[in-house]
Structure 1
């Protein structure tokens, strides 16, 4: 999602967005939700910036492999394509690799090689990666993931963004990176009460950037990250210079109504607008079932994906297939391990339900237009 930043100048961000606008105690993994490791942390210490490391207990990984082996498979689909969902053969192949060859410790080692921290904001522990550039005048940026993503989706751009001179870029393109896990996702704490919607997360991100000592910064997001960046732009916290999103989810109300009703392309649209309408119409017709379920019944959906590794893998693989420009075959653009790293992260942190509740909290308001008065930039990939 943030690959655009490989060649995108931070100076360009400010100049371009202005024209586009208007539209410590070291702890192992073990938050309050899963049980603390080591000494209890006081209230004042919780709001400090504490080092963080990941170590999933081996018995959890053993239990995962046991569950994979004991999978009770459904009948094969009765069609030759993916019109009924994830195909049985693809899921058996992925889960076989998951239960026999895949090694979670590899991604765990990668994560622990990065500077990771945790701090309490608004009553929840928020885990984040914080990579400061070697270039002192780098621009701070907070990068927010989406669903079914995580902080893992940014790993490949940490080097190019924080140290562009080592990747063919210029020093003035450098960023200081803050990459948090959203509440209820990954290693951040799971909310136990309602109210953690995108507005609240946006306010928490402003607190995080201020707590890290940044006087000026920008925000980037795709998927939920774009929604949260939009909210930050509306809130205009002190120090936020502008936002960039690569998920411009804004649909005029009259168009949204026609899409929801399954109406044909309205008259008066240009070629690009017609193409966009048809894409959205296809999404509403066959691709939005996951969203409808999580907006209305995240708890109901959660029992299956929390208890069954194959169920969770299929739930997430379905979106990898749809959203990776891979023709429905994500293995063409992602390795099995890359997919399983993300799936396993959701499994070992037991966040399948808590992450889904963000849809319920937002109540299907992703496509609503917002008024933004600070610099904003949008990238739309072909």
Structure 2
């Protein structure tokens, strides 16, 4: 991949990002897949001994002969992508501004094991709601960051990148983008980050939405009883 930088004056500058994976790297990946040393076939008819060998064979054949490695890169490159260094780590993010006035800034975080790819189908409906049956006031300016160590964000060189540190990084990202009022959303690990943001209450954050009950996962006693459920 390559990163195109217009003005790398400081490490904290927001730099345009473009995915460009050399063919030789893809060729090397295919060679390694083809050279897989397979284990013996499982002794049972179910998955109690792991993923069945026939399923793994089929998956590798798909990667070797059918999967289009450039398809997702083209889809991401069609959107505005950037990187910026936050707390010593280059953070990759997609940033799509709505054409509608007064769009609400929204930072959405993916889950584990995942990436911003899982949220690409939301870009159109959220940034251009009138083309999807919505109203102009439903529009968002959308920020989709890659969690450090995921996707095209850099891998941290030290331990400590927990939910709260990532939450602080997202607040800094929104500040750098010039947003003084915004909301956050997340699912799975992203829900944990959104929850951490709500607890830290950074300046500008006016609300969060999660589709995972993070406090209950951390404390099973916090779950409602059977009758309450």
Same fold (TM > 0.5): yes
- Secondary structure at 1:238 match in 2: coil
Q: Partners in 2 of 1:272 and 1:65 — Cα distance?
A: 52
Distance 1:108 1:252, change over 3 A: closer
Q: Aligned pair 1:150/2:115, yes or no?
A: yes
Q: 1:159 & 1:252 partners in 2: Cα distance? A: 34
Q: Is the 8 A contact 1:29 1:187 kept in 2?
A: no
Tell me the residue number matched to 1:71. Answer: 36
RCO higher in structure (CA 8 A, sep ≥6): 1
Hey, what's the Cα distance between the residues in 2 that align with 1:215 and 1:66?
A: 49
Whether contact under 8 Å (2:167, 2:193) holds in the other structure is yes
Give 1:197 shift: 1.3
Q: Which residue of 2 aligns with 1:29?
A: 2
Q: Deviations over 1:100-143 (max 9, x none)?
A: 12121111111111000111111111110000011111111101
| In 2: Cα distance, 1:172 partner to 1:85 partner | 49
- Between the two proteins, the alignment pairs up a number of residues equal to 227
State the distance in 2 between where 1:188 and 1:108 align.
Answer: 15
Distance 1:70 1:233 in 2: 48
TM-score normalised by L of structure 2:
0.92
- The alignment partner of 2:10 has SS state of helix
| Aligned match of 1:220 | 185
Q: Alpha carbons of 1:202 and 1:252: their partners in 2 closer, same or farther (altered >3 Å)?
A: closer
Deviations 1:203-231 (A, max 9, x none): 00000001000011111001110010111
| Aligned residue in 2 for 1:173 | 138
Question: Structure 2: which 5+ runs fail to align?
Answer: none
**For 2:61, which of 96, 102, 108 is the aligned residue?**
96
**Mapped contact 1:135–1:174 kept (Cα < 8 A):** yes
Distance 1:101 1:183 in 2: 30
* Match 2:25 to one of 55, 60, 76: 60
5 Å-filtered alignment, 1:272-311, equals 273=229
1:248 maps to what in 2? Answer: 213
2:102 to 119, 122, 137: 137
Aligned counterparts of 1:83 and 1:29: Cα–Cα separation in 2:
43
Deviates more, 1:95-104 or 1:233-242: 95-104
Does residue 191 of structure 2 align to residue 269 of structure 1? no
The 3-state SS of whatever aligns with 2:131 is helix
Alignment of 1:103-114 (within 5 A): 103-114=68-79
Task: Call closer, same or farther: CA 1:134–1:67 in 2, change over 3 Å.
Answer: same
